[in-house]
């Protein structure tokens, strides 16, 4: 561990007449990535039909994931798209599971196999890179690490089997305006999305300054799109349901490290390739 040396300061005349003070060594804390070799962490979000979450959890735990959280939502794609995808436009389950990238490489082929069992078993999965975590104990739990490896930095990821060419567009709008969001997104080439229920609050001072009133009833639309249409999707959503419309929508995007089960122009992305 690095040591910092601290000296007390005294007037010049005192220093000349008295022996120098003893040096006090203070141990400096270093981040764990400076003293240990860490595994990169990601968040897997898996969207399946209602009734399929238990099967997905079995896959996650078989591959070595530590835990998962299950949320719910609704599909947004039109019936003709759901016929192509082979899934129903009903209640969805979203399984969130933090894991190492190495664990994801074990989870991915199992999900591909599961999604191919039947139309009802089909789903979507995306991987979001995580940049930090609170607490060494949490890191050990999520990575199933008994003893941290010696070394420093973060392990390199094998990106040869991933499909990074997609991003997630999230639009937060007032309740009842999700249809406008999806209609706008489809004009740009998006195929479907998932609706999450939410509650909104706002800073009253900022609301007053900008003349915007944040209503509490909110819905979140999550859409996975190819990178090349992301900007057009965001632009059209802004025009149809932006902050200055009745929908009071705010849309943004973030990158994914990998996707499974999404279709583009009737071609399915599975093991890192479009087939």
Q: Is residue 227 part of a domain?
A: yes
Pair (56, 132) in one structural domain: yes
pLDDT band per the 50, 70, 90 thresholds, residue 267: low
Does residue 271 carry a pLDDT above 70?
no
Pair (110, 188) in one structural domain: no
Judge whether 129 and 167 are in contact, CB under 8 Å. Answer: no
What secondary structure, in 3-state letters, does 150-170 show? ECCEECCCCCCCCCCCEEEEE
Pair (170, 202) in one structural domain: yes
Q: Is residue 178 part of a domain?
A: yes
Nearest Cα to 191, choosing from 219, 160, 224, 159? 224
Pair (180, 235) in one structural domain: yes
Q: Is residue 99 part of a domain?
A: yes
3-state secondary structure of 208: helix
Nearest Cα to 271, choosing from 49, 134, 115, 128? 115
Q: Which residues have a Cβ under 8 Å from the Cβ of 84 and sit 6 or more positions away? A: 263, 266
Pair (107, 195) in one structural domain: no
Alpha helix (H) ranges present in the chain? 12-17, 32-35, 53-63, 79-85, 101-115, 136-143, 178-187, 204-210, 227-241
State both tokens at 51: 């009734």
Helices 178-187 and 227-241 pack at an angle, to 10 degrees, of: 140
Average pLDDT over residues 162-191: 91
Pair (253, 147) in one structural domain: no
Higher model confidence: residue 272 or residue 155?
A: 155
Judge whether 60 and 107 are in contact, CB under 8 Å. Answer: yes
CA dihedral 266→269→273→274, nearest 10 degrees, is: 10
Does residue 48 carry a pLDDT above 50?
yes
* Residue ending a domain, choose from 105, 134, 154: 154
pLDDT band per the 50, 70, 90 thresholds, residue 63: very high
Q: What's the pLDDT score for residue 155?
A: 66
Pair (129, 182) in one structural domain: no
* Residue ending a domain, choose from 131, 154, 177: 154
User: How many independent structural domains does the chain possess?
Assistant: 2
Q: Which residues pair with 197 in a beta bridge?
A: 219
Q: Is residue 266 part of a domain?
A: no
Pair (125, 200) in one structural domain: no
Q: Is residue 91 part of a domain?
A: yes
* Residue ending a domain, choose from 107, 123, 154: 154
Nearest Cα to 45, choosing from 129, 120, 156? 129
CATH number of the structural domain spanning residue 55: 3.30.70.120
107-147: per-residue pLDDT in tens? 999 999 999 999 899 999 999 988 888 887 888 888 887 76
Is the dihedral angle over the CA atoms 248, 253, 194, 188 positive or is it negative?
Answer: positive
The phi and psi torsions of 58 (rounded to 5 degrees) equal -60, -40
Does residue 25 carry a pLDDT above 90?
no
Pair (124, 197) in one structural domain: no
Query: Containing domain of residue 201, as a range?
Result: 166-260
pLDDT band per the 50, 70, 90 thresholds, residue 31: low
Q: What's the pLDDT score for residue 109?
A: 95
Pair (212, 129) in one structural domain: no
Pair (47, 126) in one structural domain: yes
């Amino acid at each position: 561990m690095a040591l910092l040396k601290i000296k007390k300061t005294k007037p010049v005349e005192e220093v000349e007449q008295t022996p120098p003070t003893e040096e006090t060594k203070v141990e400096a804390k270093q981040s764990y990535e400076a003293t240990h070799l860490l595994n990169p962490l990601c968040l897997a979000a898996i969207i399946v039909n209602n009734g399929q979450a238990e099967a997905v959890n079995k896959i996650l735990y078989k591959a070595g994931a530590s835990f998962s959280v299950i949320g719910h939502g609704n599909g947004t794609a039109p019936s003709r798209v759901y016929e192509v995808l082979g899934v129903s436009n009903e209640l969805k389950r979203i399984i969130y599971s933090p894991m190492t990238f190495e664990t994801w490489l074990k989870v991915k082929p199992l999900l591909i196999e599961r999604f191919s069992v039947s139309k009802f078993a089909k789903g979507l999965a995306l991987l979001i890179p995580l940049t930090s975590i609170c607490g060494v104990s949490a890191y050990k739990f999520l990575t199933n690490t008994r003893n941290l490896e010696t070394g420093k930095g973060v392990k390199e990821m094998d990106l040869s089997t991933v499909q990074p060419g997609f991003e997630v567009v999230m639009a937060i709008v007032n309740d009842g305006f999700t249809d406008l969001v999806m209609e706008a997104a489809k004009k740009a080439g998006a195929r479907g999305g998932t609706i999450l229920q939410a509650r909104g609050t706002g800073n009253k001072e900022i609301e007053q300054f900008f003349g915007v009133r944040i209503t509490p009833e909110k819905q979140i639309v999550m859409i996975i799109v190819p990178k090349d249409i992301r900007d057009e999707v965001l632009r059209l959503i802004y025009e149809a349901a932006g902050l200055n419309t009745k929908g009071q929508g705010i849309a943004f995007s973030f990158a994914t490290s990998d996707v499974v089960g999404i279709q583009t122009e009737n071609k399915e992305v599975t093991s890192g390739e479009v087939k």
